[in-house]
Amino acid sequence: MEANVDSTVIKIQFYSPEVVRVVKSKQGFTYEKKSLAVVKDAEEVTTTISTDDGSISISTERLKVVLNLRTGAVSYLSADDSPLLTEIADGSSFIPKEDIGESTFAVKQSFKLEEDEFIYGLGQLQNGKMSQRNQTVKMIQGNKDTFIPFMLSDKGYGM
């Protein structure tokens, strides 16, 4: 499924009933998406699509993804409609930049976490913290830090 919200193109693709890939990009910006993290081929997944008051919901038997068509915010819910993760309204930004002579973007994305939720992962960080919640992390390889663009919540989801 693909939708345009303002100048952002949002693509939602299920790889299995419990694995979904959401890609946001600027409208008119061409790119070839080769992921080092996503190596699975998409399966044929049975989905149910519904629209409701400015949003589109795509559901499998394990997961529901809701796209707010006004703000572009994406929410993830379990099969019983329990919230897993919600993007903050207008929480995505694309700031044009140049990287080694190539036009690209610095990207930022913000999510709401549950009050007592812990976030683990992101690689080998020398910040003395087990949970990365409320930490500012620039994912740039360094002498002491090794970044792995994956995080895991104690609620059971990963991204």
pTM of the model: 0.83
Q: Is 39 exposed, middle or buried (0-12, 13-18, 19+ CB in 10 A)?
A: exposed
Q: What DSSP letter does each residue of 112-150 carry, written as one string?
A: E--TT--EEEEEE--SS-SS-TT--------SS-EEEEE
Total residue length of the chain: 159
Per-residue pLDDT of 17-30, as tens digits, reads: 999 999 998 888 87
Query: Can you give the pLDDT at residue 72?
Result: 93
Domain range 2-112, CATH architecture: Sandwich (2.60)
Ranges in the chain annotated CATH 2.60.40.1760: 2-112
- Return the SS3 of 14: strand
Q: For every residue of 38-83, which 3-state class applies, written as one string?
A: CCCCCCCCCCEEEEECCEEEEECCCEEEEEECCCCCEEEEECCCCE
| Average pLDDT of the segment spanning 26-52 | 84
Q: If you ran DSSP here, which 8-state letter would residue 158 be given?
A: B
Query: Can you give the pLDDT at residue 67?
Result: 96
Q: Is the predicted pLDDT of residue 37 greater than 70, yes or no?
A: no
Per-residue pLDDT of 75-109, as tens digits, reads: 999 999 999 999 998 888 888 999 889 888 888 88
- C-alpha 138/C-alpha 140 separation (Å) is 6
